[in-house]
Structure 1
Amino acid sequence: MSHPHRTSVIFDLDGTLVDSEPNYYRAGRQLLAQYGVTDFGWEEHTRFIGISTRETLAALRERYGITAPLDEMLAGKNRLYLELAAAATEVFPEMRRFVERLHAEGTPMIVASGSSRAAIEAVLAGTGLDALITDVVSAEEVPHGKPAPDVFLEAARRIGAEPADCVVLEDAPAGAAAAHAAGMRCVAVPYVRGTANDPAFATAGLLFPGGQSEFTAQAAYEWLGQYGCRCQIVSGQGISRSREGSTPP
């Protein structure tokens, strides 16, 4: 059953709720080294932020001419990542505050991520977020990962919400594009420095150009209550101005 006129919130996981990208980078380097690739750097890793693990590995497999089966690489990457994630994964403090506030008010929430379901559940359990967000969906459970809208549409279906009643929190251009394609509003918190001007973020209803250093639970909460009719940009002084001509879907 859908929730008419009630906002539901869909969270991306990696780079949005938690700072897991360093662990994914290390796991990727370790995996590729097993296949003789030793020059995989952070800059190249950032090009795949927001893309599902399977699609990322498929692209890297082709680029480096790796002959191992994709499923073998995927299993290896997940195993390495889970080992690193179990040791330490940091929740962005303001994101935790935001989740706690929404949970206290009974706002429907779900995590929709390009990571495997095992990785999502491990991170949520390890950080204690599983007590606040109990529903998850992995891009591996839908036909196409971001920037296709599949994972967000499935997330809405699972929590019984209409896409137009959903707000997505995302850190990557591919995720913002997926939210727009799904007909959902988006709060964009860019993870990679310098990507705030990516055209995909122009469709966001609320943009924090400085990423997590500018994101606050209060600003996001206030916007959630009013939406605003144009894309709003947050600076260090708070929500400062509207971008003319850019409206939420």
Structure 2
Amino acid sequence: MEKNSEVLNHKVKAVIFDLDGTLVDSEPNYSKADDVLLGEYGIQALSEEMKKKYVGIGTREMMEDLKEIYGLNESIDILVAKKNKYYLEIAKENTIVFPEMYRFLQFLKENNYPLAIASGSSPEIIDMILAITNLAAYFDVILSAEEVAKGKPAPDVFWEAAKRLGVPFENCLVMEDSLHGVEAAKSASMYCMALPYMMEEPFDDSFLMADVLFKQGIIGFRAEEAIDWLRKNS
């Protein structure tokens, strides 16, 4: 765990979680859903480089981009609905909560931190994932980027989550696995604990903006280390 600062200027009073790749291991499921969707239109699976580009990007923004790249003669709403359908079919059988992140979540709940989900996934996807993993009851606010003007890397979804929690932006900690998510958190004037989903060094400068960086991603994340840091800054 690499820390950019040991003691923060503002105390952490609330924690906002990204969902996919941070709290649950869902990125492979999304990748499979993308492959099925594109295959329906006779398009080959995305390259690893393109998959990396879309980690942390909202479903709607991704479909808008793919529609333009491939000239798909389909509405964005239909593309989003199809991807969500394929994803749900896959995710129902294969979604797990990262164990160390679950331990961290339990600590936060037991110590009465206000908690939010701020995800780029569609609302129905978020609700389903939280239901099948029994996580919904942990969160005071559950928010999709589709409910705000702009998705990550814009800060809108984190700002809205903080407003609904009733906590100032500067007192929020964001848990993120994606480059776009870290950029959004820092643009929102929030603290950020980053666990890069794509663990490739040298890290992009945006990851280095995080207040805490687990360079090995979720594999290297340890709840006790996160808790120790939080205790010093709450």
Q: What's the TM-score, normalizing by structure 2? A: 0.92
Ranges in structure 1 where 5+ consecutive residues have no aligned partner: 229-249
2:20 maps to a residue whose letter is D
Q: Are the aligned partners of 1:190 and 1:196 in contact in 2 as well (CA < 8 Å)? A: no
Provide the rounded CA distance (Å) in 2 between the counterparts of 1:90 and 1:41: 25
- Is residue 69 of structure 2 the alignment partner of residue 63 of structure 1? yes
Q: Which has the higher contact order (CA 8 A, sep 6+)?
A: 2
Partner of 2:224 in structure 1? 218
Provide the rounded CA distance (Å) in 2 between the counterparts of 1:16 and 1:170: 6
Provide the rounded CA distance (Å) in 2 between the counterparts of 1:203 and 1:27: 31
Q: Which moved more, 1:193-202 or 1:31-40?
A: 193-202
- Is residue 123 of structure 2 the alignment partner of residue 117 of structure 1? yes
Q: Are the aligned partners of 1:10 and 1:167 in contact in 2 as well (CA < 8 Å)? A: yes
Q: Secondary structure at the match of 2:143?
A: strand
Q: Which moved more, 1:151-160 or 1:61-70?
A: 61-70
Provide the rounded CA distance (Å) in 1 between the counterparts of 2:61 and 2:202: 23
CA shift for structure 1 position 195: 5.5
Ranges in structure 2 where 5+ consecutive residues have no aligned partner: 1-9
Matches within 5 A, 1:1-80: 7-80=13-86
2:113 maps to a residue whose letter is T
CA shift for structure 1 position 196: 6.3
Matches within 5 A, 1:1-249: 7-194=13-200, 197-227=203-233
Instruction: Give the ranges of 4+ consecutive aligned residues of structure 1 lying more than 3 Å apart after TM superposition.
Output: none
CA shift for structure 1 position 5: 5.5
2:191 maps to a residue whose letter is R
CA shift for structure 1 position 130: 1.3
Q: Alignment length, in residue pairs? A: 225
Provide the rounded CA distance (Å) in 2 between the counterparts of 1:17 and 1:152: 16
Q: What's the TM-score, normalizing by structure 1? A: 0.87
Q: Secondary structure at the match of 2:116?
A: strand
Q: Secondary structure at the match of 1:95?
A: helix
Percent identical residues: 45
